[in-house]
């Protein structure tokens, strides 16, 4: 599960606009990919950490072309600052790009729109997250990820393979596609979480254990995190859908409504899962209670049958000189029979009370 607080406090006391990288990943290999395309042409550039200064030599984008600059890794603050400054991005945006403890949000700076979202996925049974910043300007999209991933591979492919939708539309459609890829990823996470909840439910019902409890708590935290990542996107996409910004065309807004729907669905399912989980705690507690009851019942039955019998045998173990029963020839037999009758009576009493 991702941490709920990142080391934001590093920044305490710094003036606004100070560039400090706050994040969980220490990715030394910043990589920049640039795609310039329109319906007919397409060029791709790639700069890795050790040749990153060559980025300066990037030729200007063609007229009517869309440029997508994708940056993976936030440790090289210098290059990020240069990219932002060349596009006249506000210092506060640069600051937010580097600070990965952002809440998903959208901000309209008239010339460009700044958007933050969280990618969530499972890595070896553990939920991890990654912050993605998207800057949508006139004819360009800049995206900043925390590490090299393959979420956008399919978009890269569609650009390369002359995907008519993608290449035929503007930068807003590209931004939409990036967001769509992120939101699509949520469904996989939810399915995984659904399966895990089913597993835990079965485990808690059949073998209530502390281990199951831990898993439950882990899941609860995952869902909380999921909720925090997805909930604000509702507002983000709702704004985009209704926005009158020139940067988003109305044909694209139909697609954004689609994302909006997916987000509502994700939120819905997250809520449902949280309700299911919270009900599990009750199940667990009552399973424990039941088990305790069973143990107590067993103890009570054994004890209450034998305690009176033990008294009886103790009685005839007394050493009084004058105890007539001891002298009787059938005394012993009579006592055995009496005790058997007591035991049978007890058992029948329990039966009637349905304790068996």
Footprint of a second copy on residues 43-102 (CB under 8 A)?
Answer: 90, 92, 101-102
Sole binder of a second copy in the list 44, 310, 340, 344 (CB under 8 A): 310
Residues 196, 200, 206, 210, CA torsion sign: positive
> Does residue 257 belong to the site contacting a second copy (CB under 8 A)?
yes
Applying the rule CB under 8 A, the residues between 198 and 217 that interact with a second copy are 205, 210, 213-214, 217
Sequence-ordered alpha helix ranges (H) in 25-170: 77-86, 91-98, 153-160, 164-168
Size of interface with a second copy, in residues (CB under 8 A)? 107
When the beta carbons of 51 and 315 are compared against a second copy, the nearer one is 315
* Residue corresponding to tokens 């300007």: 137
Task: Give the binding range for a second copy (CB under 8 A) out of 56-64, 78-86, 141-149, 283-291.
Answer: 283-291
Which span (3-11, 39-47, 65-73, 137-145) binds a second copy, by CB under 8 A? 3-11
| E-state strands within the chain | 31-37, 42-48, 66-72, 105-108, 112-123, 126-137, 140-145
In 29-135, which residue ranges form alpha helices assigned H by DSSP?
A: 77-86, 91-98
Between 48 and 154, name the residue whose CB sits nearer to a second copy. Answer: 154
DSSP letter at 354 equals T
Q: Rounded CA gap, 338 and 29, in Å? A: 88
107 by DSSP, 3-state: which? strand
Q: At closest approach, how far in Å is the CB of 18 from a second copy?
A: 11
Return the range that interacts with a second copy (CB under 8 A); candidates 35-43, 52-60, 124-132, 302-310: 302-310
Q: Does 347 bind a second copy (CB under 8 A)?
A: no
Site for a second copy in 109-148 (CB under 8 A): none
CA 25/CA 278 separation, integer angstroms: 32
| Binding span for a second copy by CB under 8 A among 23-31, 44-52, 130-138, 175-183 | 175-183
> Min. distance of Cβ 198 from a second copy in angstroms?
10
Q: How far is the CB of 61 from a second copy (least distance, A)?
A: 24
Task: Please list, in sequence order, all residues whose beta carbon lies within 8 angstroms of the beta carbon of residue 223, skipping any fewer than 6 positions away.
Answer: 193, 270, 273, 274, 277
CB of 239 to a second copy, least distance (A): 14
Task: Assess 315 for contact with a second copy (CB under 8 A).
Answer: yes
Q: How far apart are CA 127 and CA 210, in angstroms?
A: 21
Tokens 């502390």 sit at which residue?
210
Taking CB under 8 A as the criterion, the residue among 162, 316, 341, 345 binding a second copy is 316
Judged by beta carbon, residue 61 or residue 182, the one nearer a second copy is: 182
| Residue 79 near residue 86 (C-beta atoms within 8 A) | no
Answer for the pair 114, 93: CB distance below 8 angstroms, yes or no. Answer: yes
Is the CB of 126 or the CB of 286 nearer to a second copy?
Answer: 286
Stretch that binds a second copy, among 48-56, 66-74, 133-141, 279-287 (CB under 8 A): 279-287
User: Rounded to an integer, what distance in angstroms lies between the CA atom of residue 60 and that of residue 337?
Assistant: 108
Q: Does 219 bind a second copy (CB under 8 A)?
A: no
Interaction between residue 180 and a second copy (CB under 8 A):
yes
C-alpha to C-alpha distance for 306 and 316, rounded to whole angstroms: 16
Instruction: Decide whether 73 or 212 has the Cβ nearer to a second copy.
Output: 212
């Amino acid at each position: 599960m991702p941490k709920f607080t990142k080391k934001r406090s590093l920044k305490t006391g710094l003036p606004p606009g100070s560039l400090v990288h706050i994040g969980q990943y220490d990715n030394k290999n910043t990589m920049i990919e640039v795609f310039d395309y329109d319906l007919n042409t397409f060029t791709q550039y790639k700069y890795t950490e050790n040749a990153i200064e060559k980025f300066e030599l990037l030729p200007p984008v063609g007229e009517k072309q869309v440029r997508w600059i994708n940056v993976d890794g936030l440790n090289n603050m210098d290059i990020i600052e240069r990219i932002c400054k060349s596009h006249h991005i506000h210092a506060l945006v640069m600051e937010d790009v580097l600070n990965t403890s952002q809440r998903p949000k959208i901000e309209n700076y008239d010339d460009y729109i700044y958007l933050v979202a969280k990618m969530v996925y499972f890595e070896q049974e553990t939920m991890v997250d990654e912050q993605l910043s998207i800057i949508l300007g006139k004819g360009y999209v800049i995206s900043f990820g925390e590490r090299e991933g393959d979420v956008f591979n399919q978009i890269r492919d569609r650009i390369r393979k002359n995907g008519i939708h993608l290449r035929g539309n503007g930068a807003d459609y590209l931004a939409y596609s990036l967001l769509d890829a992120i939101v699509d990823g949520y469904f996989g996470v939810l399915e995984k979480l659904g399966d895990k909840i089913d597993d835990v439910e079965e485990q808690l019902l059949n073998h209530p254990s502390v281990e199951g409890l831990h898993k439950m708590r882990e899941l609860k935290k995952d869902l909380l995190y999921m909720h925090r990542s997805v909930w604000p996107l509702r507002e983000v996409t709702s704004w985009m859908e209704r926005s009158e910004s020139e940067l988003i065309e109305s044909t694209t807004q139909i697609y954004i409504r689609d994302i909006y729907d997916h987000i509502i669905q994700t939120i819905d399912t997250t809520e449902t899962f949280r309700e299911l989980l919270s009900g599990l705690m009750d199940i667990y507690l009552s399973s424990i209670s039941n088990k305790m009851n069973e143990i107590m019942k067993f103890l009570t039955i054994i004890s209450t049958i034998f305690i009176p019998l033990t008294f009886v045998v103790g009685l005839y173990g007394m050493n009084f000189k004058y105890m007539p029963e001891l002298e009787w020839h059938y005394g012993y037999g009579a006592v055995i029979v009496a005790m058997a009758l007591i035991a049978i009576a007890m058992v029948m009493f329990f039966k009637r009370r349905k304790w068996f």
